[in-house]
Structure 1
Amino acid sequence: MLPEEKITHLKQALRGRLIQPHDDDYHTARKVYNGMIDKCPLLIAKCADVADVITAVNFARENDLLTAIRSGGHNGGGLGICDNGLVIDLSQMKGINVDPDTKTAWVQAGCTLGDVDHATHAFGLATPSGIFSTTGIGGITLGGGLGHLTRQYGLAIDNLLEANVVLADGSFVKANETTNKDLFWALRGGGGNFGVVTSFVFRLHALSTIYGGPMLWELDETEDVLRWYQDLIKSAPDELNGFFAFLCVPPGPPFPEHLHTKNMCGVVWCYSGDMEKAEKVFEPIRNFKKPALDFVGPLPVPALNSMFDALLPPGLNWYWKADFVNELSSEAIDQHIKFGTQLPTLLSTMHLYPINGVASRVSNKDTAWSYRGATWAMVIAGIDPDPANNDKISKWAKDYWEALHGYSAGGAYVNFMMEEGEDRVKATYGDNYEKLASIKAKYDPDNLFRVNQNIKPALHVHMD
């Protein structure tokens, strides 16, 4: 237990609020996106500015408190919260400044993807990141930042130009290609291991309207669809992105009644090329097999990025399993059909997100993200509002993953992982792990920032 005077001192030093277990809004403040996570921190510091972050980091270090950093709270494993420790909550820090001349945006770490879309879209600009607009920009970016525009413009980290960071010793530094280069390298995919990023500078692209949306087919067509989709996405022009999904059609508008609660397979498309050519690009796609549902057409970028938000509000119970995938062999397709046609609940799903195209032309050595050669990041998500179904959705996700893991490329996208242990983290960073561990030792030698997919600091003396 911390002495009361220390807590009072921290409270007085913060511009933002310090929330404690006896406060009325404590139970609301400790909730994260994944309802399966139920953790009770000692203190939640709702930081108003960078000075608050520095104060909170110093307090955590001086009092040896377990510390979690929270931006959007979307993390599957609930890594934005901890038991009996301090949560440094950045959600109040929502400043954004778009510079249309340099096509860049300065974005504070409390922003969501929706906040960024709102600010950039007014200028006809966009930066690639994510699928849900409710996701926090901090966590998704530091983990890599996959989304609808990955094939077109790369990962979020490929469009990250600079970060401002509060380090474990409380110092405030800038990281970019010329200043603290090693830190900048590690932040691009290495997660929240190296400090508290308080703001980002992103490169923006001239993009206002895309041609996209979901296209669904009957389940008995899955094998044909998957084989065709694999061939298509491997040779598609960079302007065309589409992720494959198994899903249950939501029982409400805009979906036609005859498809409600029906299990189907589909692709959610995003074409960002010349709108005049969009219909022509989709001609062979529509001719492959007549889809049972075709909601593909011109959309503002923010509309695509928020299309699924209402289906997946905060507080649902999630169990995630993930892998990187190079190939869909016949055996793998058989397993996908077996598990993908037996979704355990209405919201459970499996997605294959392409990471080829522009994202694949960056070397594994250029950023911490080390699976540039993979074709997809796969995620299996068991999802349900009722905690009584937690075992059911978890078992389905684990069994599905185990059936497919042998056909995978190895590690997984860190933003799709629960708490899965050191070996999985090492598999995810592959040849980059040792370099990351030595950068960790430089910037966070005592592993203050360890509520994450943790990279342990390298020991400077290797004992034989």
Structure 2
Amino acid sequence: MEIEIFRKKIKGEVYERNSKEYESSLLDRWNLDALTINKPKLIVIVKNENDIINSIKFCKENNIEIAIKSGGHGFHSNCKGLLLDLNLLKGLKYNDYEKTVTIESGCRLGEMDKENQKHGYIIPSGIVSDTGVFGLTLGGGIGHLSRSYGLTCDNLLEAKLITCDGEIKIINKETDSQLLWALKGAGSNFGVVTELKFQLHKLNKIFVLKSLIGINENQSSSSSSSPPPPPPSPIFEKLKKLCEFIKENQKINQFSVTIIINSKELIVYSIYNGDYGNEYLNNMNCLVFNEPRKEIQPEDYTILQQFCDKELPRSKRYYKRGIFIKGELEFELLNKMIQSFNNHPIKDGLSYTISQLGGVFNNQIYNNNSSFSFRKSLYHISFLTTLPIDNEYQQNLFNNNNCIIEDKLKIKVYDWTNKTLDLFSNLKIGDYSNINDTFLSTDNYYGENSKKLKELKLKYDPNNFFNNNPNIN
């Protein structure tokens, strides 16, 4: 009876278990393994802010936990109680005079990038176009252009927030600078964010060189049509030259590298944000990969943002961890990562992604203005395993409403990941909350900012109502 009364207050939709609409909404996420922990009793497809306010009141009155799903990438965007699905809220409002855009909470990176490019602007964001803008921003936001423009959250000017009391607040430097600081890195802990206002950057020419180093074939090649390369040099020589080049060019903020390693090859995306990319990347291509000069044309930014989509498709089973490391990228580290495939339970299911940081990312002003920690890191490494989906797993997704679904293979992947992370313990300085499919301590996520964040959490959400997130506790 209470659910029917609640349903009448919602302008969107309210779905209960065992309905097709419920299943469709629940499965609309990047990582299906988020559903193995628990499943909500109710899903609210939000149409407006009043739906959120009424949902918060309903949960508090009935002692039901709440979770929030925007793009559906987050492992923590689920619960046993009520799930707020914000997917319908996709508005974007531009102010060309201020060079800003205000975005609603259901927007994904690909949608945002497409509209931004039409206006001649960009916002630095992630590397998978299917990612939700809000989850990425509130946890930091690492991407191809972090060295040029900082994290996604560094470009956040204002947020509209609905608190645990159902109150709507506009958060900016003038209204509440401390809460704005907290939202930039730990934002999912303080309420339901419905709008974000960003500073835009002029869209420059962006040049991309994609290079392949075959791990098994012991050779490298570039991805464009060009004259046949000279005889391949040993893989280790190329890896050493790659590390040396990146180290020598660490101060060139326009230059960045994203490296993906799978069981067959090492994929290097070398990116230059500016007018001289053709010359710069050709120089790298010659020095590192020993390949002849070719014409490198500017890349469409929205295409660049989709480069990793094929490697990380939606609606699969994943287990991922992400860490920030200190120091430069060394050949020994790359070699250790390549060798680790030999004892992985699903060799062809493992991939690493190395994102180069530094540059503007390390800016002290950004460090002071956000709760995101680990600014001293020069690289982020993600460990990702794609797990198989069989018939038994699919059946269990909806037969076990609140049971943890485990299997022997998944446990082996957990164990392998933890043991491999131990090998990086001397380099690790922190965990990335956006790339983490487990439950860690506040210090792991927020480092030296943990104490201040705990104080703000007690102020704005004293009973930890919003806890299905990388939680401050």
2:368 aligned residue (358, 365, 370): 365
Percent identity over paired residues: 29
- Work out the CA distance in 1 between the residues paired with 2:8 and 2:93: 30
The structural deviation recorded for 1:26 is 1.2
Contact 2:238 2:289 in 1 (8 A): no
Alignment match, 1:402: 422
Shift of the 225–160 alpha-carbon distance from structure 1 to 2, 3 Å rule, reads farther
Give the one of 216, 239, 244 matched to 2:254.
239
Sort the Cα spacing of 1:58 and 1:273 in 2 relative to 1 into closer, same or farther, 3 A: same
For residues 278 and 343 of structure 2, the distance between their equivalents in structure 1, rounded to whole angstroms, comes to 34
Between the aligned partners of 2:417 and 2:296, the Cα distance in structure 1 is 29
Letter in 2 for 1:247: N
Deviations 1:140-173 (A, max 9, x none): 0000011111001110011001000000011000
Runs (5+) with no aligned partner, structure 1: 249-262, 457-464
* Structure 2 spans left out of the alignment, 5+ residues: 219-233, 391-406
The 8 Å contact of residues 377 and 429 in structure 2, kept in 1 or not, is answered as: no
SS of residue paired to 2:76: coil
Q: Distance in 1 between matches of 2:330 and 2:411?
A: 30
Amino acid paired to 1:429 = Y
1:304 aligned residue: 304
How far the C-alpha of 1:371 sits from its partner, in A, is 0.7
Q: How does 1:277-288 map to 2 (within 5 A)?
A: 277-288=276-287
Determine the structure 2 residue equivalent to 1:455.
472
Q: Give me the TM-score of the superposition, normalised by structure 1.
A: 0.87
DSSP-derived class of the 1:189 partner:
helix
Would the aligned equivalents of 1:165 and 1:172 in 2 still touch at CA under 8 Å? yes
Aligned-residue Cα RMSD (Å) equals 2.4
Q: How has the CA–CA distance of structure 1 residues 433 and 296 changed in structure 2, closer, same or farther, with 3 Å as cutoff?
A: farther
Quick check: 1:142–1:188 contact (8 Å CA) kept in 2?
yes
2:207 maps to what in 1? 211
Contact persistence 2:209–2:281 (CA under 8 A): no
What aligned pairs does 1:5-24 form with structure 2 within 5 A after superposition?
5-24=1-20
Displacement after TM superposition at 1:218 (Å): 2.8
- Give the structure 1 partner of residue 61 of structure 2: 62
Deviations 1:270-327 (A, max 9, x none): 22111xx222101221112337999974211111112232443222111112211112
Matched, 1:318 2:318: yes
Task: Tell whether 2:160 aligns with 1:140.
Answer: no
Q: What residue number does 1:254 align with?
A: none
Which of the residues 104, 111, 115 maps onto 2:111? 115
CA distance in 2, matches of 1:233, 1:63: 55
Taking structure 2 as the reference length, the TM-score comes to: 0.85
Q: Output one character per residue of 1:324-344: Cα deviation in whole Å (capped at 9) or x when no partner.
A: 111245653442232157773
Amino acid at match of 2:307: M
Aligned to 1:36: 33
Q: In 1, distance between residues paired with 2:457 and 2:246?
A: 36
State how far apart, in whole Å, the 2-side matches of 1:242 and 1:332 are.
16
| Contact 1:318–1:382 (Cα < 8 Å) also in 2 | yes
Aligned runs of 1:85-96 on 2, under 5 Å? 85-96=81-92
Contact 2:341 2:350 in 1 (8 A): no
Q: Confirm or deny: 8 A CA contact 1:68 1:449 kept in the other structure.
A: yes
C-alpha contact (below 8 Å) 1:419/1:453 kept by paired residues: no
- Residues 1:446 and 2:463 aligned together: yes
User: Residues 158 and 222 from structure 1, CA distance in 2 versus in 1: closer, same or farther, beyond 3 angstroms?
Assistant: farther
CA 1:109 to 1:7, structure 2 compared with 1: closer, same or farther past 3 Å? same
- Please say if residues 15 and 52 of structure 1, whose CA atoms lie closer than 8 Å, have aligned partners that are also in contact: yes
Cα distance in 2 between the residues matched to 1:233 and 1:341:
27
Aligned length, in residue pairs:
430
The aligned amino acid for 2:32 is G
Q: What SS does structure 1 have at the residue aligned with 2:336?
A: helix
Q: How does 1:170-319 map to 2 (within 5 A)?
A: 170-207=166-203, 209-219=205-215, 220=218, 223-234=236-247, 235-236=249-250, 237-248=252-263, 263-274=264-275, 277-290=276-289, 297-319=297-319
- Tell me what 1:461 maps to: none
CA distance in 2, matches of 1:159, 1:89: 25
2:338 corresponds in structure 1 to 337
Q: Is 1:382 aligned to residue 402 of structure 2? A: no
Q: Deviations over 1:223-256 (max 9, x none)?
A: 44444444433434111111122125xxxxxxxx
2:393 corresponds to: none
Does structure 2 conserve the Cα–Cα contact (< 8 Å) formed by 1:440 and 1:455?
yes
Structure 1 letter corresponding to 2:451: E
In structure 2, the CA distance between the partners of 1:176 and 1:292, relative to structure 1 (3 Å rule), is: same
CA distance in 1, matches of 2:105, 2:209: 28
Within 2, Cα distance between the matches of 1:306 and 1:200? 23
The SS at the match of 1:308 is: coil
SS at 2:18's partner residue? coil
- Paired with 2:308 and 2:102, the residues of 1 have a C-alpha distance of 26
Give the Cα–Cα distance (whole angstroms) in 1 for the partners of residues 103 and 195 of structure 2. Answer: 5
Q: Deviations over 1:164-203 (max 9, x none)?
A: 0000011000111111111100000014001111010011
Write the letter of the residue equivalent to 2:470: Q
Q: Is residue 2:124 matched to residue 1:128?
A: yes
Query: Per-residue deviation at 1:444?
Result: 0.5
In structure 1, the residue matched to 2:431 is: 412
2:112 alignment partner AA: V
Q: Is the 8 A contact 1:243 1:269 kept in 2?
A: yes
- The DSSP-based 3-state class of the residue aligned with 1:93 is coil
Rounded Cα–Cα distance in structure 2 between residues aligned with 1:98 and 1:15: 27
The residue type equivalent to 1:107 in the other structure is: I
TM-superposed deviation, 1:455:
0.1
SS of corresponding position for 1:102 = coil
Aligned amino acid, residue 50 of structure 1: E
Match of 1:169 among 159, 165, 173: 165
Aligned partner of 2:447: which letter?
G
Contact 1:345/1:383 (8 A) holds in 2: no
Structure 1's 366 and 152: CA in aligned 2 closer, same or farther, altered over 3 A?
Answer: same
